[in-house]
Amino acid sequence: MSEHDDSTDSAETAVVTGANSGLGFEVTKGLAERGTHVVMACRSTERGEAAKREIEAEIPEASLEVHELDLADLDSVAAFAEWFASAYDELDVLCNNAGVMAIPRKETAQGFETQFGVNHLGHFALTARLLPVLEQTPGESRVVTQSSVAHRNGEIDFDDLQGERSYSAWGAYGQSKLANVLFGYELDRRLRSADASVESIVCHPGWAATNLQFRGPQQSGSQLRLWMMKLANAVIAQSAERGAEPMLYAATDPSVEGGDFIGPDGFRNMRGSPEVQESSERSYDVDLAQRLWEVSEELTGVSFDRPLLAAT
């Protein structure tokens, strides 16, 4: 709970990454409606504050705080976690939501391919750094990681993780989204074997109309792809509000268990209401998950390496 806001004394506390836009915005709204105090972790505090004002206009009793977090810079991740631990004693829900999709090859501050760096490594480091406060929270706390149906086509290319030799925008997205599932499940296994009071759940939104689909075409300057994405969003996608439901369900529903994979129950799991589903066969590969975990620790320099979370 925040030291500087007495009104949140009995409320649960959540952190939502990418809270200013799309699904993160809707997840923040949904949590705020339930009376949860939400820390909106945004790379632009200006966009974060604008989103906060929009939510407050709709939900005057919302308890929100914006703080800067750039997942493309591990120093920013460390600074966010340090600030959070100094301002809050408890964290009930960490929503690892922010992401980028199918963008041209770029690198994060530490030289990682951006989709792998932001979608997976940034959240890996954030979770490791926030684990102590998640663990010290009374009752059960949850880590919910946002993946995608695109994880089904994903492969982890350990020989070229950063796409330096060969880069495909969709291949890198699939890799990062498979990494989200492998990470979420491996975290769950380690938490269980440590008998920890934290649960790790993975979810995906199906297809929801947000800004996500426009970033790749905008950054590559493809008007045709931009137009196609706008058309597809208008015709096929469900709303961002509905797309946020799996993450909200994973974050709040009492029936959800660590290791669950939650997604929409409708056509091709692209739309509908949240349900527990199976992820791809590859995502259950424990050896693959442990190898990714070790490589992620090495790359980020952040370790879960305490007796509590040693490999099972």
Residues that bind ligand NAP (CB under 6 A): 17-18, 20-24, 43-44, 47, 69-72, 97-101, 118-119, 146, 148, 204-205, 207-208, 210-212, 243
For ligand NAP, give the closer residue by CB, 20 or 63: 20
Please state the closest distance from residue 6 (CB atom) to ligand NAP, in A.
29
Our CB check for ligand NAP shows the closer of 167 and 197 to be 167
Q: What angle do CA 127, 208, 266 make, to 5 degrees?
A: 100
Shorter beta-carbon distance to ligand NAP: residue 205 or 217: 205
Closest CA to 112 of 73, 78, 68, 140: 73
Q: Which is nearer to ligand NAP, 208 or 292 (CB)?
A: 208
With helix as H, strand as E and coil as C, how does 276-303 read? ECCCCHHHHCHHHHHHHHHHHHHHHCCC
Using alpha carbons, list the distances in angstroms from residue 187 to 24, 180, 265.
22, 10, 25
Enumerate the β-bridge partners of residue 197: none
Q: Give me the active site residues, please.
A: 173
Nearest to 244 by CA among 204, 211, 191, 293: 204
Shortest Cβ 57–ligand NAP spacing (Å) = 19
The 3-state DSSP class for residue 106 equals: coil
Q: Which phi and psi angles does 41 have, rounded to 5°?
A: -90, 105
Give the alpha-carbon dihedral of 129, 133, 135, 140, to 10 degrees: -120
Shorter beta-carbon distance to ligand NAP: residue 15 or 62: 15
Smallest gap from residue 174 Cβ to ligand NAP (A): 11
Q: HSE on the CB side for 82, CA within 13 Å? A: 6
By three-state DSSP, how is residue 274 classified? Answer: strand
CB of 24 to ligand NAP, least distance (A): 5
Pairing of strands 13-17, 141-146: unpaired
Closer residue to ligand NAP in complex, CB, 137/175: 175
What is the number of other CB atoms lying within 10 angstroms of the CB of residue 86?
A: 8
299/158 Cα distance (integer angstroms)? 12
